Amino acid sequence: MKILITGICGFAGSVMARTLLQQREDLQILGIDNLSRPGSETNVESLRKLGIDVRIGDVRNAEELAKLPRAEFIIDCAANPSVLAGVDGHSSSFGVMQHNLYGTVNLLELCKNWNAGFILLSTSRVYSIAALSMLPLSENGTRFLIDETVPANGWSAQGITETFSTEPPVSLYGSTKRCSELLALEYGAAFGFPVWINRCGVLAGAGQFGKADQGIFSYWIHSWRAGLPLRYIGFGGMGKQVRDCLHPRDLAGVLLCQMDARSLSGPRFQHLSGGGSNSMSLRELSDWCAQRFPGLPHPVITDEQPQNRPFDIPWLVLDPSRAEQTWNWQSQTPMAEILEEIAQHAEANPDWLDLVGG
């Protein structure tokens, strides 16, 4: 089987490409990346040495895409993944649309012409910020907790389900991914090719190009080891915000199942996430760092009256039950292993944040 992976030199794309080859030797992988993310250029040659055909190009350029050799499946990992994209003063709103939406439309046109299947790596940030902010939460000394005694609608103690509200606002980034989801499903239905939408939890692992607004687990550990200032922002300034965590290599098995299935029926989208067992608050991450780097005391700045930022949320854990039921899939890499992998990478690469512009 020949597959095209967009954004192949990014963290998720490069890890998945390597893992897919390990699990299926007969795969032919073609990849395209514009190397816009600092650090992505470090993956080009290592991927090529594995026999992967890495092309430097841009999904926004339909003419470039039309020149690519035909593939049987496209896995779309190309995106500007920051929830602040387009509103942070560093990137334009139109640029976010071009990267995250128009690029996907170009890929869907390829799928139509090639009769190829399409897999979109989507995000937990398609869910309504207002609805998430209204979740019934309690708290203990280290984290926010979901209140299991309140009747649920689209969520449970295991996390948010796929039926949870996607009512805007969700951020420009989240909206482009939600629009991409809908267009992918429409193209698949109209032109008869299989489409899978995988909404992922926070991806993390060694080699991630983490920043404060994207890739928080990697950014926090690298910053702690380097002695850089860290701050709890919003929600009482205590770092009790909770997210789940997933290593991208754990995606490979279900992606292979989806490509093999080529089904046009059944659930089209599901959560691929670490779930509640692989969730952690910033305060708990700080406690972990303090134990892992005992010779590096690093007090985190807390504000007595911090203001919540527009797109920040206190608790977001994705319930992966549908993926378990549909694909017999579960995440394989526990949180402790992911964090230790990042810590070892931070020790071996002390200048990593300078390289990736963190």
Instruction: Look at residue 269 and give its three-state secondary structure.
Output: strand
CB–CB of 315/135 below 8 Å?
yes
Rounded Cα distance between 249 and 247, Å, is: 6
Is pLDDT at 331 greater than 90 in this prediction?
yes
List strand residue ranges (DSSP E) for the chain, in order. 2-6, 28-33, 53-56, 73-76, 117-123, 137-139, 144-146, 155-156, 159-160, 195-200, 202-203, 231-232, 242-246, 269-272, 279-281, 301-302, 315-316
Domain 2-356 coded CATH 3.40.50.720? yes
Q: Which of 51, 52, 67 is nearest to 8 (CA)?
A: 52
Is pLDDT at 244 greater than 70 in this prediction?
yes
Task: Say what the pTM is.
Answer: 0.95
pLDDT at position 304 is 63
Percentage of the chain beyond pLDDT 70 is 99
Q: CB-based contacts of 65: which residues, under 8 Å, 6+ apart? A: 32, 57, 59, 106, 107, 110
Question: What's the whole-number average pLDDT of the chain?
Answer: 93
Is pLDDT at 305 greater than 70 in this prediction?
no
Percentage of the chain beyond pLDDT 90 is 80
The domain ranges of the chain are: 2-356
CA atoms within 13 A on the CB side of 158: 10
What's the Cα-to-Cα distance from 285 to each of 58, 182, 336, rounded to whole Å? 36, 35, 10
pLDDT in tens, 71-120: 999 999 998 888 888 887 777 899 889 989 999 999 999 999 999 999 99
